[in-house]
């Protein structure tokens, strides 16, 4: 699994340090070049396979964050702390998933959106623009949270709901 001879395009390699999550082996990543606030040699979070994190732009998985399944992180998106992105979820643009947040299903978090604390974005939900889903909030189903909307506390946005300010 280790790629000891990275290409010039690669920004990370998968190390031999692993954890098991729901029966799947995830590998800690290590930067092989400097970009944004990541320095060559910095350890990142965990991925199941190389398709989880793009080598393009400045996206990164920090700390003990985990990305698995067919989930994809690209653009300048950041996954940090102990956040988990799984299944077929996509986090892109300048989005930030942090804390103990979970993004799963086929959810899409994009633009400058933030999903943090212990929030969950699941199903086919979309969180976009500069929207925030924080605290213990849940966005699921086909819900769309966008623009300057903040979903917080223990709020649940579900079904085909669209929150637009």
Element (H, E) at 31: strand 24-31
Would you place residue 85 in the very low, low, confident or very high pLDDT band (cuts 50, 70, 90)?
A: very high
In CATH, the number for domain 12-126 is 2.160.10
pTM of the model: 0.93
Domain boundaries, the chain: 12-126
pLDDT single digits (tens) 106-133:
999 999 999 999 999 999 999 999 999 9
Structure tokens at 44: 């990142």
Q: What is the mean pLDDT of residues 78-101?
A: 98
Helices of type H across 46-150 = none
Give the pLDDT mean for 72-91: 98
Average pLDDT over all residues of the chain: 94
21 pLDDT higher than 60: yes
Mean pLDDT calculated for residue range 28-45: 97
Q: What is the pLDDT of residue 96?
A: 98
User: Can you say whether the dihedral through the CA atoms of 53, 55, 61, 64 is positive or negative?
Assistant: positive
For residue 142, pLDDT over 80 is answered with: yes
Confidence of residue 165 (pLDDT cuts 50, 70, 90): low
CA angle, residues 83, 6, 12, in degrees to nearest 5: 15
* 161 pLDDT higher than 90: no
């Amino acid at each position: 699994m280790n790629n000891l001879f990275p290409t010039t395009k690669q920004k990370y390699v998968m190390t031999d340090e692993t954890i098991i999550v729901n029966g799947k082996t995830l590998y800690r990543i290590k930067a092989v070049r400097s970009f944004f606030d990541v320095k060559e040699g910095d350890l990142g979070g965990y991925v199941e396979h190389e398709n989880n994190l793009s080598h393009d732009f400045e996206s990164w998985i920090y700390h003990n964050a985990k990305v698995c399944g067919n989930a994809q992180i690209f653009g300048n998106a950041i996954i940090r702390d102990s956040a988990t992105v799984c299944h077929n979820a996509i986090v892109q643009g300048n989005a930030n998933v942090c804390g103990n947040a979970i993004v799963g299903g086929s959810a899409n978090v994009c633009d400058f959106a933030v999903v943090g604390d212990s929030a969950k974005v699941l199903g086919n939900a979309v969180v976009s623009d500069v929207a925030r889903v924080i605290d213990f909030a849940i966005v699921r189903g086909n819900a769309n949270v966008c623009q300057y909307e903040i979903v917080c506390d223990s709020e649940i946005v579900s079904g085909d709901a669209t929150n637009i300010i």
